[in-house]
Chain A
C-alpha cells in the first residue's frame, strides 16, 4: 500500500556554538491519504521542527521522508503549510493575499484565479475580497490564510498550531470550520497542537511525542461511534472524555 507520507528513522539536531541540541530522534510513522493526524507533545519538544522537515524547509540529518511514495525533497510542491499566525500582508487585499502562492509559483492563470474566487465565495469571504486584512476578524483572517494554501491544490496540509493565536471562542469555531473544510476537500492533514481537546476533536489518529529529543511515545486511533460528527459535535460525544484522559495520562505519566 502506498502512503501519502512516510517518515523512516528521521533524526534532527540544532547546532549552535554552545553545542548540539537533539530535537528529533528516530521518528517513524506513515500517513494514509485523506487521514487527519494530530501531533501532540510537551511544548518545545520539536513538533514544529517535524513539520518543517516534512515541508522541506529543513533537511533531516538521518532518515528518509517520502511523499506519495517518492523521495524528498524533489516534490514538496504538493505540501500546503499553515502557520500559527495568518501572516496576511497588509498592503494586499484579501484576494491579492490569496493569490500570493500562485504568483510565486508563476501559476496565475484564468483557471487558478477562478478557483481562488470560487473558494472565497464558498467559504464566505467573497464580500471581503477587496478588503484589507485588518478589516477582517481573526477567524476570517485564518480562513483567508487557509484559502491561500488551498488554491495551490496541496495533497498534504501541515497545520502548525493554526488556531493558537485566536481567542477561545473564535478558536472553537475556526477549528470546527477549518476541520470541516479540510475533510470536505479530502486533504491529508497533519496538525501540530498542544491543545489535547483540539487534537481529539479533529484527528483520526493522534501521535504523542515525548519530550526532547522527541520520539513517538504512543499512537492513539480516534474513532467515534458516529463517524460523521463535526469537530464541535465531537466535543460533546461520550468518547471524547475517554480519549482526552487517555492522552492526558500519556503526557503526564507521573500523576
Chain B
C-alpha cells in the first residue's frame, strides 16, 4: 500500500465530506417534509380529510397489506407496465431496423411518425377503450402508445448518426447493408438503446396509469381515480407514493442493465 501524501488525504477527506453532506441533506428534506405534513394535519393547519397525513397513509397501507389487496393492485400495474415496455422495445427496434434498411420507407413514413409522436397520447385512450374494450390488453396498448413513436424516432436518428466511415469499412470488407447493421450499427447504438429504455419505462408507466384511469378495474391508476371519486384521499395519496417508488425502482432496474453492459465491456477487454 502506497503512503498517501498529505494533500491527497485532504482531497479524499473533502470528497467524503461532500458525499456525506449530499446524502444527509437528501434524507433530511424527506423527513422534514413528512414531519411538517404530519404536524400540520394533526394540529388542524390543513384538513386531514383532504390532505391526508403520513400516518394515515401508512395505516391505510398496513390495512391493505393485511388483506393483500394492495399487492394485487401493485402487481397488476407493474405487470402491465413491464409488458408494454418489453413490447415497445421489441417493436421500436424492429421498426427502426426496417426504416434503416429501407431508406425510402423511412422518408415516406417520416411525417406520419412525427405527427403520431407529437399527438398527446392520452387523447387516444378513450378511443382504445371503445375499440378494444375495457380490459388489460387495452391498458397495455395505451402504455405502448405513449412510448413507441418517440422511441422509434429517437432510435432511428441514433442509427442514422452512426459514423459513415465505419459503415464504409464493412463495404470494403465485402459486406452488405445487413452486415453493416449487425456488425456496426446495432453494437454502436447499444448505449443509445439503453438510454431510450430509461425514457420508455417511465413513459409506459404514464400510459398504463392513463389506461387504468379510464379502463381499469384494478391497479394503482384505478385506485387513484376511485379514491378521488369517493373522497378516499388516503387511497389516492398512498397510490401516488407507491407510484413514486415504482418509478424509481424501474429506472434503477434499467440502470442495473446499463451497469451490467458496461461491466461486460470492461471484463472481456
- State the Cβ distance, A155 to closest chain B Cβ, in Å: 14
- Interchain residue pairs A-B with the least CB separation, the first 7: A81-B172, A101-B173, A104-B175, A87-B169, A132-B269, A104-B179, A91-B187
Q: Can you identify 23 A-B contacts, CB atoms within 8 angstroms?
A: A57-B171, A76-B174, A77-B174, A83-B168, A83-B169, A87-B168, A87-B169, A89-B166, A89-B187, A89-B188, A91-B188, A93-B268, A100-B173, A104-B170, A104-B173, A104-B179, A105-B174, A105-B175, A130-B269, A131-B269, A148-B173, A152-B173, A152-B174
Across-interface contacts of B183 in A (CB, < 8 A): 89, 100, 103-104
Complex Cα–Cα for A81 and B165 (A):
13
Across-interface contacts of B268 in A (CB, < 8 A): 93, 130
Complex Cα–Cα for A105 and B165 (A):
19
List the A residue with the shortest CB-CB distance to B173.
A101
| From B168, B173, B174, B265, residue with most partner A Cβ within 10 Å | B174
Given contacts A104-B174, A152-B173, 10 further A-B contacts (CB under 8 A): A84-B165, A87-B165, A89-B187, A91-B187, A93-B268, A100-B183, A104-B179, A130-B268, A132-B269, A148-B173
List the B residue with the shortest CB-CB distance to A101.
B173
Across-interface contacts of B190 in A (CB, < 8 A): 91
Complex Cα–Cα for A251 and B170 (A):
34
Complex Cα–Cα for A105 and B170 (A):
11
A-B contacts, CB under 8 A, total: 51
List the B residue with the shortest CB-CB distance to A158.
B172
Contacting B at CB under 8 A, from A78-106, are 81, 83-85, 87, 89, 91, 93, 100-101, 103-105
Taken residue by residue from 177 to 206, chain B's Cβ proximity to chain A (1 for < 8 Å, 0 otherwise) reads as 001000110011010000000000000000
Q: Is A55 an interface residue (CB 8 A)?
A: yes
List the B residue with the shortest CB-CB distance to A104.
B175
| From A93, A100, A104, A148, residue with most partner B Cβ within 10 Å | A104
- State the Cβ distance, B157 to closest chain A Cβ, in Å: 20
Across-interface contacts of A77 in B (CB, < 8 A): 174
Contacting A at CB under 8 A, from B239-269, are 265, 268-269
Across-interface contacts of A91 in B (CB, < 8 A): 187-188, 190, 265
Decide if the interface of chain A is mainly helix, strand, loop or mixed.
Answer: loop
- State the Cβ distance, A95 to closest chain B Cβ, in Å: 11
Taken residue by residue from 129 to 159, chain A's Cβ proximity to chain B (1 for < 8 Å, 0 otherwise) reads as 0111001000000000000100010000000
Taken residue by residue from 98 to 139, chain A's Cβ proximity to chain B (1 for < 8 Å, 0 otherwise) reads as 001101110000000000000000000000001110010000
Question: Given A93-B269, A131-B269 in contact, is the A83-B173 Cβ separation under 8 Å?
Answer: no
- State the Cβ distance, B172 to closest chain A Cβ, in Å: 4
Complex Cα–Cα for A100 and B187 (A):
13
Complex Cα–Cα for A41 and B13 (A):
61
List the A residue with the shortest CB-CB distance to B179.
A104
Across-interface contacts of A93 in B (CB, < 8 A): 268-269
Complex Cα–Cα for A113 and B103 (A):
36
- State the Cβ distance, B61 to closest chain A Cβ, in Å: 45
Complex Cα–Cα for A105 and B190 (A):
24
Contacting B at CB under 8 A, from A53-92, are 55, 57, 76-77, 81, 83-85, 87, 89, 91
> Are B187 and A83 closer than 8 Å at their CB atoms?
no
Complex Cα–Cα for A66 and B155 (A):
42
Question: Given A83-B169, A89-B166, A91-B265 in contact, is the A101-B188 Cβ separation under 8 Å?
Answer: no
List the B residue with the shortest CB-CB distance to A132.
B269
Complex Cα–Cα for A89 and B166 (A):
8
